[in-house]
Amino acid sequence: MSLAGYGGPSGGGSRSAVRFMKDLDTPIEGRDVLVIENVVDTGLSLNYLLKALEPRRPRDLAVCALLDRPYRRLVDDLPLRYAGFTAPDEFFVGYGFDLDGRYRGLPDLHVMLRR
C-alpha cells in the first residue's frame, strides 16, 4: 500500500487529507498484518490506514516504526507494537528519509540542521 498526505500550503497544517496511491494486491482476511512505517508523528495518516484495513478483517493488525514521536501524537489508540527509537523533534535525512528528493540514499540517519 502507499498513502499520500497533503494539507495546507506547505503540505501540512491542521487540515490535512490522506489518499491511497496504491491499494493492496492480496486479500488480508484472516491474516496477520504488520504495517511498516518509517516515522509515527501525529498518527493521523496511520490511523486512517488502519481504519481502512479493519473492515478487511485481518486476524491481527499491528504497526512497526523505525522512529516514534509519541509527544506529537494526536491519536491515542494506535497499535504501535514495535518502535526502533523514540526520536527527538528534529528533521532526519538518509536511510530512506529525504529533503526535496535529496539524501534519501545515505546509508544511515542524519539530523538536518535548521538555519
- Dihedral, 17, 74, 90, 46 alpha carbons, nearest 10: -50
At 86, list the grid cell: 523514540
Catalytic residue among 41, 76, 77, 108: 41
Catalytic residue flag (residue 25): no
Closest CA to 88 of 55, 115, 111: 111
The CA R_g of the chain, rounded to the nearest whole Å, is 15
Catalytically active residues are 41
